[in-house]
Amino acid sequence: MVLASPNPITSDRILSTTIELPVVDLKGDRSVVSKLIVKACEDFGFFKVINHGVNQETIATIEEAAFGFFGKPMSQKKMAAPVYGCKNIGFNGDMGEVEYLLLNATSNSSSILHHISNVPSNFRCIVSAYTEEVREVACEILELIAEGLGVPDTSLFSKLIKDSESDSLLRLNHYPPLPIPPIHHCTTDWDNSSNKVVGFGEHSDPQILTILRSNDVPGLQISLQDGLWVPVIPDPSAFFVNVGDVLEVMTNGRFASVRHRAMTNSQKSRMSMAYFGAPPLTARIVAPPVLVTPQTPSLFRPFTWADYKKATYSLRLGDTRIDLFRNRKDF
């Protein structure tokens, strides 16, 4: 789920050479893996996960079901509102070239797709099976992060999304093929450096972390600190992990939530499935004592996840919402 930044990156420069993004093998030695994940989060706020343990049949089944839903006539898809959306991707007028399903991903969700009457009856089970497996990956990664940071309670982060009241979400994004327009209309978010339309604009994810999987169509780009956009080579067999705003706060700024965007393809549909691991609304978001010292004082004031969501509803997609909770002395 994206909400929104006061200082968005405005550069459209795309890296022309290949950059090696971190790849983490979850089947590797645990102590080594935890260190690799921490370094990836510090350097990029982003990494690729292989040998994640999620059943490939589970992945293929939900992708097939998603393509089936998005292939329906618009009149039928609109019947799935409010979990179905098209083009409107924010709370304050942000638009994109994307249609999506935004679903509650908590395990106790009694009617995860109760708004959708025009999809196969087993769609609910398909989504539930996928979210359960991906949640396990998210929890394992968060526990490895805690270990790598030296946090005494290694479940400190993971228990927030294991909680039955977790506000986690699953978003299925479909980017239909979008031919290059002969004229760049002012209503189209156009990237001159790549000659592509921006399907989902620049943003960071507000939650703890995101577990992203897409088909073999490229489109995802992440931003480096110098403003360069780095195209991410798709890998349908792997997952990509984004550091979210909450994890930046809970690591006292040691990690930075990665800014990213999605581009459209002129010939092929791109499907992405994003699991947003989030805490309960009442959870208090604060860095653990081990990460707050006289040398590294607290960068953010404590808040609840509900506070954070409420404060960001007035912002645009690209706004740096995390600055609203930064201690003033750090500006």
CB 172 within 8 A of CB 66: yes
- Which of the residues 270, 284, 301, 328 is marked catalytic? 270
Q: Which of 208, 111, 231 is nearest to 162 (CA)?
A: 208
- Model pLDDT, residue 110: 35
**How far from chain centre, in Å, is Cα 157?**
16
Question: Contact 327/298 with Cβ under 8 angstroms?
Answer: yes
Residues 145 and 41: beta-carbon distance below 8 Å: yes
Query: HSE (CB half, 13 Å, CA atoms) of 303?
Result: 20
End-to-end distance of the chain based on CA atoms, in angstroms?
A: 27
State the pLDDT at residue 228: 87
Burial 297-311 (b: 16+ CB within 10 A, else e): ebbbeebbbebbbee
pLDDT in the model for residue 198 = 87
Decide if 270 is catalytic.
yes
> Which residues have a Cβ under 8 Å from the Cβ of 159 and sit 6 or more positions away?
none
**CB of 162 closer than 8 Å to CB of 283:** no
The CATH number, out of the four listed (3.40.50.300, 2.60.120.330, 3.40.50.1000, 2.50.20.20), of the domain defined by the range 23-330: 2.60.120.330
Per-residue pLDDT of the chain (331 residues; tens, 9 = 90+): 333 333 434 446 676 556 789 999 999 999 999 999 999 999 999 999 999 999 999 999 999 999 999 999 998 888 888 889 998 776 666 778 899 999 998 854 435 455 555 666 788 889 999 999 999 999 999 999 999 999 999 999 999 999 999 999 999 999 999 886 655 444 445 454 445 688 888 889 999 999 999 999 999 999 987 778 999 999 999 999 999 999 999 999 999 999 999 999 989 999 999 999 999 999 999 999 999 999 999 999 999 999 999 887 778 777 888 999 999 764 4
Q: What is the pLDDT of residue 15?
A: 61
